[in-house]
Structure formats: structure tokens, C-alpha cells
């Protein structure tokens, strides 16, 4: 029987493996960042730490952990070594100071904004965002006393001026809005946020750090539904918050924007800013929101997440290449009215997309992900006929999978919105949301063509 108690040691004369991944390329960090050596068996892959709690070294160690003088974990609701690998890896890929893994994308959005705002406070969001987020803002946030208002034209300074109030605590947006791929000008929105001393929170689920890193464009906090492209296989629900470490919380407070979870001192400890510096926001989110409310990520799902990130850049290139081929083909089909994909040279957003996302290696379009809108002729009847005759695309909710998927937003993600809101958002009866997976683009086009024959 093998001796499983041996501690691996580097052979004398052999170089020790890297542990600090700063300065390494994205492709290297997505494989290695966050790893730690297994001192029991020499496991190459960080193991799944299936433990609810952690042993204290002694009485005083327990005192220090609960007092906040030690950041060692207390309970897996607060942190877990397996999830810690995913957190460190994602923070590295996004270029942030720290990350916090949670149970879902909705949990990430909620925890990220609850760290900033409470009852009586206000948040401003761009209008074109995922329908489920709009529902979250209009239902649960409203119940908790947090008001959310929308800016429809993010290029209009006067609209921002009207929307932002003395009690506004954050601006929220998405890199690539779902479902219409109408990319946002992050640098411009970040300039608005700076002007009003507000943190900019950006959902980068569809963009992913392989295509765009919001902190490089002025964002302060990034959220993800890690269920999607980061994990990549549709097998595990999860979410994450990434702290850019680039917002001056004390200056904002001096300007009249109060963030008590981050800047208020605890007796004998000081504030989160005093104790954690650039990682103050992430620590406040972990201790004061995630730990309290409890949307913890299963370590099994955390394991699938850090495994998924190992191939992120490779998968995203395939997603983009196939999406450009498919959207270019779709806009030529007589049964298709419009294709909403900013990566197409024919898109009115192409110049912005090319600037922020770059061009493909072939130079045939911009790299704006693989989730986009297609409007077929015949309204809802045309959409029904099209969807019902697809055989390779899966009819289901979800995006960012290895498998291609399709859904009808008007009767699903946007079904509870008023007709005027849907009209302004461009959610029409014939609009369908496609998420292109990793199958052959040729096979996907053949499936689409066969379905279009019934429109």
C-alpha cells in the first residue's frame, strides 16, 4: 500500500516551482494562478476541500479569527481553500486586487451592490442589461429599500446628471449586454462615475477577461456568473465578485458618498481600508455580506470553476470565430430581419467593438463574444417555427456553454416587462437569443438553415 503521509520536497539541486504568477502571460496564469502545493501527497491538482469548518491552532487563534485580526478561515460560508484557488485565479486574470466566490451570478450582483448600498440608497444602471438582473433590481432590491433607475442613452451627459442623486451609491453596467450584444463604452461610463465619486460595477460574464478586462477601462468592481464561460461546461452554478483595488473610498466619503461597511472602523481594528488597503472592498463583501447572508459556493463547484478557467482563452477564441462565421451568414438569409452582433463590420457599434475588444486573428470582425440576438421574419409565429425545427441548438435558458443554445426573450427572460419597456429595449416578438458553443460552425449553420426553411 502506498505511503500517503509523505510530504513532497524538492530534490536538492532542483529548482522550486513558481508560486508568484505576477508578470506571467494570461495563458499561463489561467492554468496556474492560485495553485498551492499539496504537502501531504504531492497532488498536482488542488484538491476539493470538503470541510464545513477549520481547526483552530489554539484558544488565541480562535479569538484572533473571530476578532478579524487573522484572515484564516473560520467556516466555509466565509471561505474555502478550493474556492480560494478560483478566487485568486480570477483576480489575476481580471487584473484585480482580490475576488470573492459566491453561489451564483445573481448572488454576485446582490452581494456586490449590498456592500455599497442599503435601505434608502440608490443605484443607477444602464438600461440594456440581462432581464434577470432587471427583475432582481425591480423586485428584491425594491423590497430591501434600494431604488434602481436606468439611463437609456449612456452617451447623454444630461441623462446621467438627471439620474444620479445625493444618495446614489454605484453605477452598474455590462460589458456585452444580454441579449442584443450592444456593447457599452466602459471608458465613457467610468468617466461619469469618477465625476460623481461613484464606484463603477461591471458585469463581465459575456465578455470574460479573455476578451476584455473592465479595470483597464476604468471600472472598480467586476461581477461574473461563473456558471457561464468561466466554468464553461454548464455543469456548475456559481458567481464571483472581483475588487479592482482602484477606488478611493475615503475620498468618496469626504465628497459625501458614505460606504460604512468599508470605511467605518471597528473597535480596536480600524476600518476595512485601514486593515486591507486595496482589497478593502472585497474583504467587506466577504465578511459583512457573503458571510452574513450565506450565498457560499460549493467547493465542488469551485473546483469545476478553476478547472474551467484553465482553457478560457482557447474556448473564447473558438466561440468568437464561430459566432462571426454564423452571424455573417445569418445576415445574408432572407428569413432574417436583423442580426445584433457588434463584432460584425456592418454593426453600428463595430468601431467601439474593434477599439475595446480587438479584431480576430483573421481581421474579419471584432471579438465580442458569442451571445447575440437574431430577429426572424413572421414575429412570434416565425420565432416559434424556427425554434421548434432546430435539432442541434438546445432549446433552454443559459449561455456560455460548450453546447449551443437558443431562447425567445420576449416569452422568457423579458416576459414580465411592460410592452413599452420591451419595445425600448428592442425585445421584439421575432427576436431570439443565441449562444454559440464549441460545435462545428458548419454543422450549426446547417441546423439554422434547416430551421429557417420553416419560417
Domain boundary among 267, 293, 309: 309
Whether residue 129 is contained in a domain is answered as yes
The answer to whether 365 and 381 have CB atoms below 8 angstroms apart is: no
Phi/psi of residue 433, nearest 5 degrees: -100, 125
Residue 141 CB-half CA count within 13 A: 27
First to last CA, the chain: 65
What order do you get walking across the sheet with 200-203 strand by strand?
A: 98-102, 239-243, 221-225, 200-203, 168-174, 122-126, 147-151
- Structural domains counted in the chain: 2
Whether residue 181 is contained in a domain is answered as yes
Residue 377 domain boundaries: 312-452
The answer to whether 104 and 237 have CB atoms below 8 angstroms apart is: yes
- Beta carbons within 10 angstroms of residue 238's beta carbon: 27
Sign, CA dihedral 320-225-427-351, equals negative
Domain boundary among 284, 309, 334: 309
For residues 241 and 141, membership in a common domain is answered with: yes
The SS3 call for residue 141 is helix
Residue 99 sits in a domain of what CATH number? 3.40.640.10
Sign, CA dihedral 151-185-180-87, equals negative
Domain boundary among 309, 329, 364: 309
For residues 275 and 337, membership in a common domain is answered with: no
For residues 295 and 358, membership in a common domain is answered with: no
User: What pLDDT sits at residue 19?
Assistant: 84
User: What pLDDT sits at residue 44?
Assistant: 85
Residue 420 sits in a domain of what CATH number? 3.90.1150.10
For residues 217 and 184, membership in a common domain is answered with: yes
User: What pLDDT sits at residue 317?
Assistant: 98
Whether residue 268 is contained in a domain is answered as yes
For residues 250 and 203, membership in a common domain is answered with: yes
Q: What is the DSSP string of 46-62?
A: PPP---SB---SSHHHH
Q: Where are the beta strands (DSSP E) in 220-364?
A: 221-225, 239-243, 336-340
Which of 224, 331, 383 is closest to 341 using CA atoms?
A: 331
Whether residue 184 is contained in a domain is answered as yes
Q: Give dist(CA 124, CA 127) in Å, integer.
A: 9
Residue 348, Cβ density class (10 Å: 0-12 exposed, 13-18 middle, ≥19 buried): exposed
Residue 301, Cβ density class (10 Å: 0-12 exposed, 13-18 middle, ≥19 buried): buried
Whether residue 28 is contained in a domain is answered as no
For residues 292 and 380, membership in a common domain is answered with: no
Which of 157, 192, 64, 165 is closest to 148 using CA atoms?
A: 165
For residues 299 and 374, membership in a common domain is answered with: no
For residues 331 and 369, membership in a common domain is answered with: yes
Which of 386, 355, 377 is closest to 368 using CA atoms?
A: 355
Tens of pLDDT, residues 25-42: 999 999 999 998 877 778
Whether residue 16 is contained in a domain is answered as no
List the chain pLDDT tens, one digit each, 455 residues: 444 444 455 567 888 888 889 999 999 999 999 998 877 778 888 989 999 999 999 999 999 999 888 889 899 999 999 999 999 999 999 999 999 999 999 999 999 999 999 999 999 999 999 999 999 999 999 999 999 999 999 999 999 999 999 999 999 999 999 999 999 999 999 999 999 999 999 999 999 999 999 999 999 999 999 999 999 999 999 999 999 999 999 999 999 999 999 999 988 889 999 999 999 999 999 999 999 999 999 999 999 999 999 999 999 999 999 999 999 999 999 999 999 999 999 999 999 999 999 999 999 999 999 999 999 999 999 999 999 999 999 999 999 999 999 999 999 999 999 999 999 999 999 999 999 999 999 999 999 999 999 99
Tens of pLDDT, residues 218-275: 999 999 999 999 999 999 999 999 999 999 999 999 999 999 999 999 888 899 999 9
User: What pLDDT sits at residue 2?
Assistant: 43
Whether residue 294 is contained in a domain is answered as yes
For residues 322 and 299, membership in a common domain is answered with: no
Whether residue 18 is contained in a domain is answered as no
For residues 94 and 243, membership in a common domain is answered with: yes
The answer to whether 444 and 374 have CB atoms below 8 angstroms apart is: no
User: What pLDDT sits at residue 17?
Assistant: 84
For residues 173 and 261, membership in a common domain is answered with: yes
For residues 294 and 362, membership in a common domain is answered with: no
For 411, which DSSP code? Answer: G
Cα→Cα distances 144→66, 139, 416, Å: 28, 9, 20
Amino acid at each position: 500500500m502506498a505511503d500517503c503521509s509523505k510530504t513532497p520536497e524538492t530534490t536538492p539541486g532542483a529548482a522550486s516551482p513558481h508560486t508568484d504568477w505576477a508578470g506571467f502571460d494570461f495563458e499561463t496564469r489561467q492554468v496556474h494562478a492560485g495553485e498551492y502545493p499539496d504537502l501531504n501527497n504531492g497532488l498536482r491538482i488542488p484538491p476539493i476541500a470538503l470541510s464545513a469548518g477549520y481547526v483552530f491552532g489554539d484558544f488565541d487563534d480562535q479569538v484572533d479569527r473571530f476578532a478579524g485580526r487573522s484572515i484564516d478561515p473560520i467556516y466555509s460560508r466565509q471561505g474555502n481553500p478550493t474556492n480560494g484557488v478560483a478566487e485568486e485565479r480570477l483576480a489575476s486574470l481580471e487584473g484585480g486586487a482580490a475576488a470573492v466566490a459566491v453561489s451564483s451570478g445573481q448572488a454576485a450582483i446582490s452581494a456586490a451592490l449590498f456592500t455599497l448600498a442599503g435601505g434608502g440608497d440608490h443605484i443607477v444602471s444602464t438600461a440594456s442589461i440581462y432581464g434577470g438582473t432587471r427583475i432582481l433590481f425591480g423586485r428584491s432590491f425594491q423590497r430591501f429599500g434600494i431604488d434602481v433607475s436606468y439611463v437609456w442613452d449612456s452617451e447623454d451627459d444630461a441623462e446621467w446628471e438627471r439620474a444620479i442623486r445625493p444618495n446614489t451609491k454605484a453605477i452598474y453596467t455590462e460589458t456585452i449586454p444580454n441579449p442584443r450584444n450592444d456593447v457599452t463604452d466602459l471608458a465613457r461610463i467610468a468617466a461619469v462615475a469618477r465625476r460623481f465619486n461613484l464606484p463603477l460595477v461591471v458585469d463581465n460574464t459575456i465578455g470574460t477577461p479573455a476578451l476584455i478586462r473592465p479595470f483597464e477601462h476604468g471600472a472598480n468592481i467586476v461581477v461574473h456568473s461563473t456558471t457561464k464561460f468561466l466554468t464553461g461546461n454548464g455543469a456548475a452554478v456559481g458567481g464571483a465578485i472581483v475588487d479592482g483595488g482602484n477606488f478611493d473610498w475615503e475620498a468618496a466619503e469626504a465628497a459625501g458618498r458614505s460606504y460604512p461597511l468599508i470605511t467605518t472602523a471597528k473597535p480596536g481594528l480600524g476600518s476595512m481600508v485601514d486593515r486591507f488597503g486595496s482589497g478593502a472592498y472585497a474583504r467587506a463583501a466577504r465578511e459583512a455580506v457573503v458571510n452574513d447572508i450565506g450565498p457560499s459556493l460549493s467547493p465542488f463547484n469551485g473546483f469545476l470553476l478553476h478547472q474551467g478557467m484553465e482553457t478560457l482563452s482557447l474556448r473564447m477564441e473558438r466561440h468568437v470565430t464561430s459566432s462571426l462565421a454564423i452571424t455573417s451568414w445569418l445576415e445574408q438569409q432572407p428569413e432574417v430581419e436583423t442580426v445584433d452582433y457588434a463584432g460584425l463590420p456592418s454593426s453600428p457599434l463595430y468601431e467601439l467593438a474593434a477599439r475595446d475588444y480587438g479584431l480576430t486573428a483573421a481581421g474579419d470582425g471584432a471579438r465580442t463574444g458569442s451571445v447575440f440576438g437574431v430577429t426572424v421574419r413572421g414575429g412570434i409565429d416565425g420565432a416559434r417555427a424556427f425554434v421548434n425545427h432546430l435539432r442541434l441548438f438546445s432549446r433552454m435558458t443559459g449561455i456560455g456553454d460548450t453546447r449551443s443554445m437558443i431562447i425567445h426573450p420576449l416569452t422568457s427572460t423579458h416576459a414580465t416587462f411592460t410592452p413599452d419597456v420591451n419595445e425600448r429595449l428592442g425585445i421584439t416578438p421575432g427576436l431570439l437569443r443565441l449562444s454559440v458553443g464549441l460545435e462545428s460552425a458548419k454543422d450549426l449553420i446547417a441546423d439554422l438553415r434547416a430551421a429557417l426553411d420553416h419560417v
